[in-house]
Amino acid sequence: MPTVEALVAGIREGRRAAVSQAITLVESTSRRHRDQARELLTELASAPGESVRVGISGVPGVGKSTFIEALGSRLTAAGHRVGVLAVDPSSVRTGGSVLGDKTRMARLATDPHAFIRPSPSAGTLGGVARATVQAMAVLEAASYDVVLVETVGVGQSEVTVAGMVDTFLFLTLARTGDQLQGIKKGILEIADVIAVNKADGDRQQEAKVAARDLAGALRLVRGHGEWAPPVITCSALEDSGVDDVWERIGSHREHLGATGLADKRAHQQLDFTWALVRDELDQRLRHSVGVRAMRDEVRAAVLAGELPATVAADRILAAYDRN
């Protein structure tokens, strides 16, 4: 691993190897690497790059990779530098595929103006989020002016990604029957733009109907005066409507305005600060010598019904504090 100084220089020149090594560094959980990563990010922060941060989510098979390939290729053709990151905290990969898998974005993977990085496999969502936010800073310092963060439509990962991007795009499919059944209410609350994908062939009409239904449902969820997330249709496979989605992302940005965007990012930083603190405390608790020494005993006592949870928790905390 090169020195932090060399990495910073390489990143500023936009050299891929340096970007890649820096991301490996920020993904590492070793103490020494964490210290180096902190030093690196402090250096990079002195020249913050301005970028468009977009989260992209949807259930496995909705077409996220295909969509990112289509959108990313359009953007690089238009002169942008595009970074693609992924947040996938599940140990068992969704549908067997790795998010951010380069083989599924073949064109973008060989595009000199794009940088794709699969999700770090590090266990907890907090750990993955931490690495991703830092990887985003590395990409921005290397002049990637659009960063796309892919995540799956399961669990907490969408909320986490929504907390690190400017605009959150939710990809969905037209389904027969109850269109909204498969869509969690929470998603409608965090989505800024919704696109019904696979609107091609004989599915176009169905997709339009689904988009209209969804737009109706959204009106019930969102209050007056708030940003009304547009619901549009697209086909990532045929690359139709993808430009429209990008335009809507731009509209959302305009709606935020410069101060709105700065404010949103500042609050994200604050939330992230506390998330990091919680994550670190959790790590310390796990590695606490005092807690380790009594963990098995407490476990057995709680399982046997001999120790109430409240008392057990107090004992664990006392052991941690004594450390």
Contact positions toward ligand GTP, by CB under 6 A? 58, 60-66, 94-95, 97, 99, 104, 152, 197-198, 200, 235-237
CA distance 93 to 54: 22
**CB 55 → ligand GTP: shortest distance, Å?**
14
Between residues 104 and 253, which has the closer beta carbon with respect to ligand GTP? 104
Q: Which two three-digit tokens encode residue 86?
A: 């992924």
Which residue in the block uniquely carries the two structure tokens 């999700």? 119
Between residues 39 and 101, which has the closer beta carbon with respect to ligand GTP? 101
**CB 185 → ligand GTP: shortest distance, Å?**
21
Report the SS3 class of residue 61: coil
**CB 202 → ligand GTP: shortest distance, Å?**
10
Under 8 Å between Cβ of 152 and 174: no
**CB 34 → ligand GTP: shortest distance, Å?**
30
CA distance 85 to 116: 6
Residue nearest to ligand GTP as judged by C-beta position: 63
For 193, list phi and psi in degrees, rounded to 5: -140, 135
Longest dimension (CA), the chain: 67
**CB 112 → ligand GTP: shortest distance, Å?**
22
Between residues 59 and 285, which has the closer beta carbon with respect to ligand GTP? 59
**CB 57 → ligand GTP: shortest distance, Å?**
9
CA distance 112 to 170: 27
**CB 220 → ligand GTP: shortest distance, Å?**
27
Between residues 179 and 235, which has the closer beta carbon with respect to ligand GTP? 235
DSSP 8-state code for residue 179: T
**CB under 8 Å to 272, separation ≥6 — which residues?**
129, 133, 163, 164
* Selection from 64, 138, 69, 140 nearest residue 98 by Cα: 64
For residue 219, the tally of other CB atoms under 10 A from its CB is 11
**CB 24 → ligand GTP: shortest distance, Å?**
23
Between residues 154 and 180, which has the closer beta carbon with respect to ligand GTP? 154
Between residues 26 and 56, which has the closer beta carbon with respect to ligand GTP? 56
Q: Which residues are registered as beta bridge partners of 55?
A: 149, 168
CA distance 246 to 231: 13
Between residues 134 and 197, which has the closer beta carbon with respect to ligand GTP? 197
CA separation, residue 186 to residues 170, 180, 222 (Å)? 12, 12, 11
CA distance 118 to 130: 15
CA distance 80 to 86: 19
Between residues 18 and 84, which has the closer beta carbon with respect to ligand GTP? 84
For 57, list phi and psi in degrees, rounded to 5: -135, 165
**CB 158 → ligand GTP: shortest distance, Å?**
13
Between residues 144 and 170, which has the closer beta carbon with respect to ligand GTP? 170
